[in-house]
Structure 1
Amino acid sequence: MKLGAVLDFARLFVPGDGLYHAPWRADPRPVRALLQGVYAHAGVADFWRVRRSRTDGNQARMADFEFAYWLAQSRMAARELAGSDELTPVGERFIRSLIGTLDGWAATPLDATLATGVEDLMTAVAVRWRLDNHRPEPDAVASLVAAWQDGHRCPPLGAASVPPSADGRPANVDGLAAQVRARLTATTPPPADPGDQAYLEGRLGDAITAYRAAATDVPEDPRGWVGLAVAVRRAGDPDAARSLVERPDLVRVMSIELRKTGRPAPRTHLPPGWPPASNREHWSQGWPRRLVADKDPKSRRVGLPRCPPWSRPHATQPSLIKAMTWALCAECGLWGNLLLPERP
């Protein structure tokens, strides 16, 4: 009701054709719906923020989880909204103020296990959403596959295509996400897959191997890809899992297409120019709405000038290289963890 009153007096956005990720929904949402959802869920987080200080025992544990979970969702969605180009100047100030409030609540101390679990849960739900809603352009995929196989520089990578969807269900919380949520809320989980069980027991290497097998055996099933993204991210530097977390759709389709050709990836190193040119500032803000060339004036080429030569070993997790067939630049990590045919 309060937001409705604000909208009666001020124009916060100019509706366009953009569709955005609302962490609580399975389908992409237009700017109006995302704005309303952010405002409403910030209120839910505020309720649990107050509630957690007035309960104890199991109720306090549940309140802590609900506060952390809804706050994380609200902050993610608010940043998504702030990154759109449909807000008016007044709308931008409104969202900046809301983000400031949410960030202030985020300074509240949380149990470390709870914070880590909520982070994993958020990652799992986001990866599942991207797998379900991102649509890689066929021409772009063909160009990427050809460039990879022929040893050429990676062509510029555009933003993902997100078509409208009639799926109005809540966000998909299954697979590893369901296991993590059940553990955090002390509720009965569904049966766990081998990868999920290994992850929950802290056996990250075994979990990655199991998820990798699941993803390659049945690539249409998103649960293997989701678990793989979460496990690889948790295993080391988050940059190493950036490709799986931010563009799992591309990783999946490239893996499928490369296996169809029967031609292995380059034996010793990736060709110069991989990963594709991107702006690190966009990555640091979450999902990059636009990928553009790094404008570092010291660079003599388009791309990431800090990306080391691929022929040099610079991965931060040597023990995972064998398990994952890593092709990883520790500086940017965009094309790490592609599930390509095994190298000899």
Structure 2
Amino acid sequence: MSILPKILFICFVFKTVTSDPINRHMKIDGNFDDWRNVPSYIDPEDNLKGTVYDVSPWFPSFKSPDCHDTDTRDTTTTPKHIYNPNVNIVEFKIAHDNTSIYVYYRVADGGVIGKTSVGPSEFNKNNPSEPSAGRFYVIAAVNIDHNDTTGYWLHGGAYHPTAPGFDGNFEIEFYNGSFNQNYYLDHGANNDTQANYLKQENKKNRFVILPSIYPYYTQYIYWNHQPTSDETQRCFDGPYRLPRPYSNRYICYSRDMAPGPFNGSLTYARSEKGNEFEMRAPFEGFLFNHYTGERTLQLGMTINISLSLETSEEYSIPRDWSSDTTATIRYTLSDTVV
């Protein structure tokens, strides 16, 4: 795909607002039949030569390789091309029902979403043949309030093509050969002091939406039931029982490579071949809006959403972390029935 059509494609997708009907038939079961009638978005397929580029409508003169490194956090330095079929998104979809948002990823043939190597420690660039504990992240970033001045820019986390205003994420981490944890992120801080404030507010069942710089956020596992005794013992900070209106809701603050598995309320399934992946995020995991007291995410809202896949070095060419991010989609959580 040439650069100009790619620019037009991204701008068109972002600026178009449709009334996306509620879909009460979604199931996270690895079957994927329920996705057949859901509108599909295309992401360009990367290649070994690195000749496929993405462009953000906010920086139309800046192009980034479709699959790229995870270190370039500005819009003046071209990211390095890092080919990895496991993150090479070629199609994605978004859906919702009364209580949850659903996302679908498909990578190029031969790729396996969530594939990680197994070893005693992280990848050693000085000894790349040594077994290592790989990591893989399935990511959905959401601009909740439709305000580009709150939240973070995607490129702040080395995600390209960039877009502004992302207030929260929901993610799944695979680590050292298996599922490790699922969690939400509250991106409402610019420094450690503000991040600590987020933690105190999250424990009160409040989600804070403020301007943010990417490294400062809270990362919490959300349960709609009491976590197991084993999960409770392994939790770094918590679990904390949330106050009403819900009962029996808990959060545990986490971090990457936590001693999982932690099975929070996010759910996922993968196809038999491994190149298709579906994920469900209950609205209630985004807690209640710090300012309004209403649910942070609910029917009737229009959001912006961007999907990414990110993984460590083991299966990349060259051996480096690799990531692929989709265009930003404007999506309405309509209460209109399919």
Common topology (TM > 0.5): no
For the superposition of Structure 1 and Structure 2, which TM-score range results when normalised by the shorter chain?
Answer: under 0.3
Which of structures 1 and 2 has the bigger CA Rg?
1
TM-score by length of 2: 0.28
Larger relative contact order, structure 1 or 2 (CA cutoff 8 Å, min sep 6): 2
TM-score (norm 1): 0.28
